[in-house]
Amino acid sequence: KNEMTSSARTMERCEGKEKVKMVGIMLCAFAGLAAALASVFGKFAGSDFLSMSEKRCQRLGVADLCYNFGAPITSLLRIASVASLVASNIVMTTSFTRAMHLTSSLTATVATTSVNFSCTALLSMAVFGETLPPLWWAGFTCILLGQSPSNCF
């Protein structure tokens, strides 16, 4: 009877550790997504993507508004982008640090980097219409294939 009780306790402990590890992996995914969003906000803040150009204003039907308030609107959008960049980096760092406490540092680093690369690729295509060269995809595939299941889970 004592062996069964001891065995049951051991199984409960293992199940608890697996749940903690799964929370750590979820935090890694969240950190990777936050890092990808930070790169999008950084690109918004430092590029002409947010500028209220004359053509863009005419397409939106707000040419008069842009003429009068284009520069302040662009400045506010840039400030909001920088603030979002900082907030995304804070969320990413916090999530990554917590993930390292719940999993190994190797698991946290590999999982976060993989999610970051994946989300960055998808966001760059969806938001900016960018295409990634085949060499980028080949390198990314090598990164994913280089992860052994024993290191990640």
Separation in Å, CA 56 to CA 9, 44, 70, 109: 65, 16, 11, 41
- pLDDT tens, 9-51? 555 566 667 888 888 999 999 999 999 999 999 988 887 766 6
State how far the alpha carbon of 49 is from the alpha carbons of 56, 81, 96, 133, 151, in Å: 10, 11, 30, 22, 40
Whether pLDDT at 150 is above 50: no
Per-residue pLDDT at 107: 85
CB 27 within 8 A of CB 107: no
How large is the average pLDDT for residues 98-109?
90
What one-letter code names the amino acid at 45? Answer: A
Higher pLDDT: 94 or 149? It is 94
Tokens of 112: 């976060």
- Alpha helix segments (H runs only) across 47-145: 54-60, 63-102, 105-128, 134-145
The predicted-structure confidence for 49-88, as pLDDT tens digits, reads as follows 666 556 666 666 666 666 666 677 777 888 999 999 999 9
- Average pLDDT in the 76-102 region? 93
> Poorest-confidence range of 47-51, 112-116, 120-124?
47-51
**Cβ 30 vs Cβ 95: under 8 Å:** yes
Give the pLDDT score at 100.
Answer: 93
Residue 92 has pLDDT above 90, yes or no: yes
In this prediction, residue 151 carries a pLDDT of 47
Instruction: Please give the pLDDT value at position 153.
Output: 46
Q: How confident is the model at residue 8 (pLDDT cuts 50, 70, 90)?
A: low
